[in-house]
Amino acid sequence: MKWIGQHVWDLVSRFRSDVYLELLGDSSDTNVLVVDSNGKISKTGKHNRSVYTVYFEHNGTNKTWMPIAGTAADYPNNGDPSLEYPTTYIVAPFDGTVESIRFNSGSATNGTIQIKFHKDADASETGSTYNIPSFGLGKSAEIKPTNWAFSKGETLFFSMQPSHNKETYNATIVITYDINT
């Protein structure tokens, strides 16, 4: 059946197959469609998710800044954040929270990682410190920080300290922004 023009339906509608939206126009609105766990589609203008995946090498067990912004890290003081201002960071485009962090390592050496969230010009630590449980080759457990929040314009940094030398790391950091701020 084809409808000509527009048809307004006052009842709840369910579809058993894929739904396609065609000929969508451009808009400057910040609203997006989201699907909840029951399959219900609704509109929200609140969130935008950014995923940062960084690769870096770190030999030893001292603290180091994680190179987040895709720039090379500069560690003239042996990577100790207490001795040096970090050179890699994110300037928050909106208010938001750090949603999750997961590490991946190519080393079979077991070890834990302590991860900290820092912000502002002095790179002061904020929120809880998390210890990623011991893992060897492959992925670590995913950490979901509960109090790593920030405001638009703040400078964000991450530091890590491994318990054992794993040498190379991949870290995936998921940040959710409130695009209405």
The whole-number pLDDT of residue 122 equals: 67
Of the candidates 154, 146, 156, 175, the one whose C-alpha atom is nearest the C-alpha of residue 48 is 175
The whole-number pLDDT of residue 165 equals: 78
Whether the predicted model's global pTM rises above the 0.75 cut:
no
Q: pLDDT tens digits for 78-112?
A: 444 444 555 677 888 889 999 999 888 877 778 88
The whole-number pLDDT of residue 86 equals: 59
Check pLDDT > 50 for residue 75: no
Check pLDDT > 60 for residue 38: yes
Q: pLDDT tens digits for 1-20?
A: 565 666 777 888 887 887 77
pLDDT band at 69 (very low <50, low <70, confident <90, very high): low
Check pLDDT > 60 for residue 55: yes
Round the average pLDDT of the chain to a whole number and report it. 76
Check pLDDT > 60 for residue 71: no
The CB-side HSE value for 86 (13 A sphere, CA atoms) comes to: 28
Helix (H) or strand (E) run with residue 85 in it: none
Domains of the chain, with CATH numbers? 47-178 (2.60.120)
Q: Cα separations (Å) of 171 from 102, 106, 123, 132?
A: 6, 12, 20, 12
For range 69-83, the mean pLDDT: 44
Q: Locate the DSSP E strands across 124-179.
A: 124-135, 138-139, 149-150, 155-162, 167-178
Using a 10 angstrom Cβ sphere, with 0-12 exposed, 13-18 middle and 19 or more buried, the burial of residue 172 is middle
Is the dihedral angle over the CA atoms 123, 129, 134, 140 positive or is it negative?
negative
Residue 133 CA from chain centroid, whole number: 19
Q: How many CB atoms lie within 10 A of CB 68?
A: 20
